[in-house]
Amino acid sequence: MDTVVITGIGVISSAGLNLEDFWNTLAAGKVSYGEIEEYKDNKNYRVKIGAKIDDERWNRNVSEEIRVKYGRTSNYAVSATLSALESAGLSSEMLPNGRTAISIGTTMGEIQVEERISEIRHEKGVQGIPKTLLRQYRTDNIASSIRAAIGVSGPIYNVPTACAAGNYAIALGKRLIDWGCADVVIAGGVDVFSRVAFTGFQRLLSLTPDMCRPFDRNRKGLVIGEGCGIVILERASSAKARGARIFGEIIGVGLTSDRHHMISPHPEGDGAVRAMQLALEEARILPGEIDYVSAHGTGTPANDKVEAKALSRVFGPERIPPTSSIKSMIGHAMGAASALELVASLQMMNHGCILPTINYETPDPECMLDCVPNKARKAPINCVISNSFAFGGQIGSIIVKKG
């Protein structure tokens, strides 16, 4: 059977607006979050830090028509897609019309548009809301904007599976090619920084007041972020026929549900264990063949403990591969998080370097992992499993191997 490979990558992140800058920031172990100007003097917020993208140069490759017609979330997706296509050596004219699918995951959709609509409604009433904003608000705009920007037709999907949305969308992209429904898939995840998410996680007491410290005994929570990660999927045979660079091959996916609680992980990591096992079964490899685990690693007390337990159940307590979390550097980009983490994993394989979990100081007996503390580590990596765990118990694991 023809395998599915990744031939293009597009990135927008607080760590960088292109793949090179994104990688260099992470490899150097740099924090890309800090105090947010608009919240620093607001007494309603206990926590003032976040990973916001303040550099507006991200949209330089987006046409004025797209910028005006769509909201910021859709524009992130368009910009990252155009970068991914360039990376893949594909122009719009080269894409198979009717056979190019779009699969984009998100948590919050066009939430900044919704916030603006709410403000206007409060100030002026319903009649004061411009129709342009109402048109921008539709969540299906995210995938539709990509279709409009590159001029292709084919199946399009918006995948609203919370913080696992990127992995779900990429997994769906692989399936569309496996099932013969598409020849090329533009897949990934996107979310923008929003007041709704920032306030909501404040109320859940899930935000750290200073640094994100995944797997550290003194971890206090996560950092809200934003961004977009897009990958181009196609069959290995077509990629090789046109001499495309192959970043990696997707060999297994596992999608499950925790079946436990709306916001808390299953105490035994039920869904996480089953997702990893399903991905391993599809990949037809043993746990010992995984060289690195890209952790969900939010830095919250409950998530990290359960993730460590799930890894122990899958790999054995003494055989868990090196496991790190880039959320320690870029925060939690919501629906974009797992897509950005998969991108980082592909780069780790191709650079022979494991990215660190920074801000790590004190080992936790309940998280006894080699979390690659504080400094990147040179190591050959052939096979990676990337995990994402979301509210509602939505779990996604993807296994990629070096192309």
Rounded to whole angstroms, the Cα distance separating 229 from 345 reads: 12
Q: What are phi and psi of 5, to 5 degrees?
A: -120, 160
- Selecting among 296, 353, 367, 371, the annotated active-site residue is 296
Is 332 tagged catalytic? yes
- Other beta carbons within 10 angstroms of residue 9's beta carbon come to 27
**Six-digit token pair at 184?**
């090329």
Q: What are phi and psi of 104, to 5 degrees?
A: -125, 130
Go through the chain and tell me how many residues it has. Answer: 403
Rounded to whole angstroms, the Cα distance separating 21 from 28 reads: 11
Is 371 tagged catalytic? no
Per DSSP, the three-state class of 165 is helix
> Is residue 251 within a helix (H) or strand (E), and if so which, with residue range?
strand 248-257
- Selecting among 212, 228, 266, 332, the annotated active-site residue is 332
Q: What is the DSSP string of 157-217?
A: EEE--GGGHHHHHHHHHHHHHHTTS-SEEEEEEEE---HHHHHHHHHTT-B-SS---TTBT
Rounded to whole angstroms, the Cα distance separating 55 from 330 reads: 15
How many contiguous H segments (helices) and E segments (strands) does the chain have?
A: 13, 14
Is 266 tagged catalytic? no
List, by residue number, the catalytic residues. 163, 296, 332
